[in-house]
Amino acid sequence: MVPTITAFRQSPDRGAGQARDMRVRWALEEVGQPYEVRLVSFSEMKRPAHLALHPFGQIPTYEEGDLVLFESGAIIFHIAQRHAGLLPRQTNQRARAIMWMFAALSAIEPPILERETALLLENSSPWRDERLPLIENHIRKRLAELSDSLGGCEWLEEGFSAGDLMMVGVLRRLNRSGLLSEYPNIAAYVARGEARPAFKRAFAAQLEVFTASQGRN
Amino acid sequence: MVPTITAFRQSPDRGAGQARDMRVRWALEEVGQPYEVRLVSFSEMKRPAHLALHPFGQIPTYEEGDLVLFESGAIIFHIAQRHAGLLPRQTNQRARAIMWMFAALSAIEPPILERETALLLENSSPWRDERLPLIENHIRKRLAELSDSLGGCEWLEEGFSAGDLMMVGVLRRLNRSGLLSEYPNIAAYVARGEARPAFKRAFAAQLEVFTASQGRN
């Protein structure tokens, strides 16, 4: 059964692949699972039909027969459970890979999102110049710890996993911040993730949505 | 094999049970798994021995034979996989329960933590009075959406799961904020979680650490 995911009809980042459908597309490409995409506008996302799938009115959602999921972490975990290729089979190694998914989402992504909020919504606020360095130092602290943990390894554990997919998906939100290059092994780790053929196919697919929307305008 | 978790030697909230070991204790109590606790001081948490277990220098960690985990989400998921009682057996229901764990950690907890940071670290900052209402409105938006999703149900899906455990664990950080009472079904949901015998045993266990530390002083 081919699952259907939702994505933005109009890419807020002009095809930079920072919306969370990118991570889900990447996971589906890694396991070789074809998928359908239903594009939703910002107003459609807040209507009852979409809220029935996603109570917070966001993308992505994932529909597969009777199953409806939201939250990219939960969707990617489900894909990784159903198909080989994203989680080790051995119990302890599997638990460690899942651990990195949670770490990406609850330890690394929140300060990165705070930075984006500060830049987007608080850019003209009187506290912006004082607060931004505090947030960036919080991000630096996490990147330094992650850098120590990664060391000279290729991936966070032995072999690429859904934990790396999620971590790279989160870290690449910083691609244009200048922060990643302060930690060369982290920058190289993100580049390794983005060089995977499955990542490139997913990136091209989401970029095509943006390109097509430009053609319509 | 009895697992060992770590917890604060000195409870920052004076035994209110808001540190993340509380959620792990609760999960272990729900499945009837005895556990050991190793208390760590704030300075011990930043030393190499602890950083080898937890790269971000926090609690809780979880050790079980060769397996070492950090991140309460990952630990609770591991406990739920290993023991019956926290996740439905049926695949789709199981995926939905796991979805709520991710939702609690990546959609609900971040603005709640932002509020705590604003109150603790930015309390004397010039922007505190202007920023706090913005954060609280973000929390209200999420609570309203969650309230709609929960409706008149007892738990987020059919039957208590690790998703509810995590969601209640996150929401009860707002216990003294006054925000929960604006959404009566959410307040009742949190109270239902806290009324579970396993919650009460876990709460008593972490409170005892605080009480004992007071006796030593």
Total tally of structural domains belonging to chain B: 2
Report the DSSP beta bridge partners of residue B40.
Answer: B8
**Predicted confidence band at A129 (pLDDT cuts at 50, 70, 90)?**
confident
Tell me A191's DSSP state: H
Tell whether B30 and B78 lie within a shared domain: yes
Tell whether A75 and A125 lie within a shared domain: no
Tell whether B135 and B95 lie within a shared domain: yes
- Which chain A residues touch B if contact means CB-CB below 8 Å? 51, 55-57, 66-67, 69-71, 73-74, 77-78, 81, 92, 95-96, 98-99, 101-103, 105-107, 109-110, 113-114, 125-127, 130-131, 142, 145-146, 148-149
Tell whether A166 and A133 lie within a shared domain: yes
Tell whether B146 and B97 lie within a shared domain: yes
Tell whether A97 and A187 lie within a shared domain: yes
Q: What is the domain range of residue A76?
A: 4-85+198-216
Give me the residue from A102, A113, A146 closest to B71, CB to CB: A102
Nearest residue to A184 (alpha-carbon basis) of A209, A151, A155, A141: A151
Q: Report the interhelical angle of B128-150 vs B184-194 (nearest 10°).
A: 80
Chain A neighbors of B46, CB-CB under 8 A: none
**What pLDDT, in 10s, does the model give residues B177-198?**
999 999 999 999 999 999 999 9
Tell whether B74 and B110 lie within a shared domain: no
Tell me A151's DSSP state: T
Chain A neighbors of B55, CB-CB under 8 A: 145-146, 148-149
- What is the mean predicted confidence (pLDDT) over A156-162? 97
Q: Which helix (H) or strand (E) holds A38?
A: strand A36-40
* ipTM field: 0.96
What's A144's domain CATH number?
1.20.1050.10
Tell whether A32 and A14 lie within a shared domain: yes
- What is the mean predicted confidence (pLDDT) over A76-84? 97
**Predicted confidence band at A121 (pLDDT cuts at 50, 70, 90)?**
confident
* pLDDT for residue A29 is more than 70: yes
Tell whether A30 and A63 lie within a shared domain: yes
**How far apart (Å, rounded) are the C-alpha atoms in residues B85 and B128?**
43
Tell whether B101 and B71 lie within a shared domain: no
DSSP states along A74-118: HHHHHHHHHSTTSS-SSHHHHHHHHHHHHHIIIIIHHHHHHHHHH
What's B10's domain CATH number?
3.40.30.10
Of A62-71, B9-18, B36-45, B65-74, least confident by mean pLDDT is B9-18
Nearest residue to A3 (alpha-carbon basis) of A76, A54, A62, A84: A62
**Predicted confidence band at B217 (pLDDT cuts at 50, 70, 90)?**
low
> Strands A67-70 and B4-8: what pairing?
unpaired
Give me the residue from A73, A78, A127 closest to B126, CB to CB: A127
Tell whether A46 and A130 lie within a shared domain: no
pTM: 0.96
Tell whether B102 and B186 lie within a shared domain: yes
